[in-house]
Each structure stands twice: as C-alpha cells, then as structure tokens.
Amino acid sequence: MRIDIVAVGTELLLGQIADTNSAWLGEQLAAAGVDSHFHQAVGDNQARIVLALRTALARSDGVIVCGGLGPTPDDITRDAISEVMNVPLVRDPTIVEKIRYLFESRGRTMAENNARQADVPQGAATIPPAGTAPGLICAVGGKVVYALPGVPYEMSEMFTRAVLPDLRQRLGDQSARSTIASRVLRTWGTSESALAELLARRIEVLDAEPDNPTIAFLASGMEGIKVRITVKAPDTVTAAAMLAEEEAHVREVVGEAVFGVDAETMESVVGAGLAARGLTLGLAESITGGLVASRLVRVPGASTWLRGSIVAYSPEVKFSVLGVPDGPVVTESAAKAMAEGARRVLGADIGLALTGVAGPDPSEGRSPGTVIVALALPEHDCESIEVHLPGDRERVRQYATISALDLLRRRLIAGEIEVSQAC
C-alpha cells in the first residue's frame, strides 16, 4: 500500500515553520509497512490543493493531508477535498455543539466562524478532534483521503487513534502486512563519492533482487556522511536481523570510517571509549574556542572522563599556561606542546589540542582552513595531523572539532590507549 503526504500551509513554503508533521508521518507509515514515496507541501490556495490531492491519488492508494482544518477563511482543506470528491460540504450540527461545549468548558464563547470546522464533505466519516478541528476519512473511488489538523500534537494523536487502525484494516490480514525499518551508519573522514565507489559492488548485488535491503547516502555537513540501510520485512524481528546482516557487510567494506549508528554522535562514541578504559581527557583549544568541550559535555556522565578545557586563544596563554615555546603557534610543534600542556596542567591521561586558522584572512603565512590537531597519549610519542578544511569561519571550527574527536576515536578503537598505560 502506498500513501502520499500533503502538507498544507503557505507558511511552510515561506520557510516560517518547518514541516515536522510529514517527517513524523513518514516514520509511522514505514513502521506500519506502508510505503510513502512522495511528500508535497502546498500553500493555502484551493486550486493548488485540489491539484496536489489529485496528483497524489493518481499515483498512490491514499493521501494524508495535514493542515487547513481551522476556522479562518484560509483554512480550505475541507473545500478542496469536497471538490475532489465532487460532493457538497454539509454542516454537522452535532460537531458544532461539541465545539461549542469545548469552548464553554474553558469559560469562553465560541466564535461563529468555528462552526466552519463542522463542515464535512458529503459521505465522509469524521475523526473526533483532539482540539477543535475534527479530522476526515474520505473515500474517493477505491482510494482514501485522510485529513488531519496541522497542530503536531493534534495530528499525531488523531493519526494514532483513528488513521492507523483504519490503514491496518485496509492492509488486510496479518500475512499481507510488513514493516519498513532503517539503520543509519554515520561516517567521518571520507567523501560521499568515495563511499559510493566502495559500496558500488554491494549495491549492484542488492539491486538485483527486489526484496533485498537498499543503501542510500546522505551528506550531513558537520555530521559527516550517513549511510542509510532500509529493509522491508514481515515483522520487526526479521527486519532487525536483515539490518544487522547488511550493517556487517557495510562495515566490512567501509571499515573504521563508521563512527556511530543511528542517534550515536562522535562525542558519545568518544565518551564511551574513554569511560570503558577508565581514561581521562584534557583539552587545549585555540581555533575551536571551546567547541570540543561544548560537544563533549552534552554526553551524560562526561564529568567522569573530561577533566576540562583550556581555551588558549591568545598566543600568550599558549606560552604561559601550556608551556608552548615562543614562536609561531600554527605549527606541529606548537600543537604538540599544547596537547602535552593540557595533559599536564589538567592532570589527564590524554591531551588533545587544536590550533589553526579559521579565516577569513591568512595567519602566520597559513591559509584559512588550516588546522593542526595533536594527541598526547600515555607512554606514546605525541602525534599530530594537519588538515585543510573547507568553508567559512564557523564551518572550519565545527569541522575541526569533529576531526579532532575522530582522531581520538580511531586511536581508542585501535587499542593504542589502554587503561594499564594511563599515567
């Protein structure tokens, strides 16, 4: 079964609010085993809403339309649906009285324009409201249009209570049902095109059979490249097994570029690695100005492994607090001295330091986007890497943050830092 989603509201097109309803509905439909191949947004114009509905019905088995069920003149979803159904709107006096009672129970008087919310396309069934706007279940030929309010709480409550059970009934017996599930592998340190090349052969194998998992890529800026695995299965247990098997295939090819799964972040993975080994971390930040520490303290329990961060933005602080030798500060030797200084001053097992040029102008003869990360480990020589990052000042600082954390993550998973080696 295929269901399109149509979000109604000029404010969506103007970017004044984000369409979170369609994203939520897409997730719920997938969990129910219902395909949703198209999402549309349309303004408060009856002709365009009618066009959106007719287009959706031409390619899918039904439509969920959100928004436009309020009491004001621009709430015209009911009118558009009645035009698509080729039936008149009929005012339901029972619904009018329910809305009036709702207002009176709150000590308010119902405005007469609220009665418009009781206008129902002839032959349609109503969904009792979670607020003042009833929903609609409208048969259009052998297909269905569900109309829900745009208020997220009302929409989600009415979908769960009325639309989902109706959809399940239309899906037929349990043997014909399925679930759609996805798993997102988060990567850092490689490009989208490079990932696509690495996984090209695997994708060819999967594409050969329609029931195989699918793989897609999503470039997510400062969060790296996401590899989304999606499966359709008879039940959640089978779906989980299929996802696990395909994740193993992807990891075998992509390797340690995968840093997390689904909601895992770089900072949560690094924190878990430090906690598991009983190690502590001290930071020295120049170019990032505290961004690394800011990300790490988002992780619950960070106080057990994060000793602190020295924001040594001025060269004088690098010299006097961290013990960096006088001279240029965007150098490998300066970054290493910062890392050793952070480890020493903060009493940490590991020191992580960043220095560089955020831009927009060059500094010390180094171009904007130049970043040097240094890592001081127990019983190891201090190491450093130099990267050249794209973008404006803010993007450089954010990319530098995740690049530094990724260096530490890779050393942790490589087993190069063990609790027995800690100072």
Return mean pLDDT, the chain.
Answer: 93
Quote the CA–CA distance of 288 and 47 in Å, as a whole number: 51
pLDDT at 421 over 50: no
Comparing 308 with 180, the larger pLDDT belongs to 308
Residues 139 and 56 in one domain: yes
pLDDT at 115 over 80: yes
Q: What band does 368 get if pLDDT is binned at 50, 70 and 90?
A: very high
Q: Of the candidates 158, 175, 192, which is a domain's last residue? A: 175
Per-residue pLDDT at 351: 98
On whether residue 266 sits in a domain, the answer given is no
On whether residue 59 sits in a domain, the answer given is yes
Quote the CA–CA distance of 246 and 230 in Å, as a whole number: 9
Name which of 319, 301, 302, 298 is nearest 310 in CA terms: 319
Average pLDDT over residues 273-301: 97
Per-residue pLDDT at 177: 63
209-227 pLDDT per residue, tens: 888 999 999 888 888 999 9
The CA distances from residue 364 to 99, 270, 368, in Å, are 70, 32, 10
Residues 237 and 283 in one domain: no
Residues 87 and 198 in one domain: no
On whether residue 269 sits in a domain, the answer given is no
Q: Of the candidates 110, 143, 175, which is a domain's last residue? A: 175
Per-residue pLDDT at 418: 55
Quote the CA–CA distance of 138 and 152 in Å, as a whole number: 21
Contact indicator for 313, 306 with CB cutoff of 8 Å: no
Residues 15 and 55 in one domain: yes
Average pLDDT over residues 122-151: 95
Residues 52 and 86 in one domain: yes
Number of domains forming the structure of the chain: 3
Residues contacting residue 293 through CB under 8 Å, at least 6 positions apart: 283, 285, 306, 308, 309
Percent helix, percent strand, percent coil in the chain, to nearest 5: 45, 25, 30
Residue 387 domain boundaries = 278-421
161-211 pLDDT per residue, tens: 999 999 989 887 544 568 889 999 999 999 899 999 999 999 999 999 888
Residues 289 and 379 in one domain: yes
Residue 19 identity: D
Residues 39 and 170 in one domain: yes
Q: What band does 396 get if pLDDT is binned at 50, 70 and 90?
A: very high
pTM: 0.77
The vertex-240 CA angle with 235 and 245, nearest 5°, equals 130
Quote the CA–CA distance of 69 and 95 in Å, as a whole number: 14
**CATH code for the domain of 227:** 3.30.70.2860
**CATH code for the domain of 338:** 3.90.950.20
Please give the sequence-ordered ranges of beta strands (E in DSSP) within 9-70, or none if there are none: 39-42, 62-66
Q: How many CB atoms lie within 10 A of CB 136?
A: 21
Q: Of the candidates 151, 175, 199, which is a domain's last residue? A: 175
pLDDT at 422 over 50: no
Quote the CA–CA distance of 176 and 264 in Å, as a whole number: 34
Quote the CA–CA distance of 386 and 404 in Å, as a whole number: 10
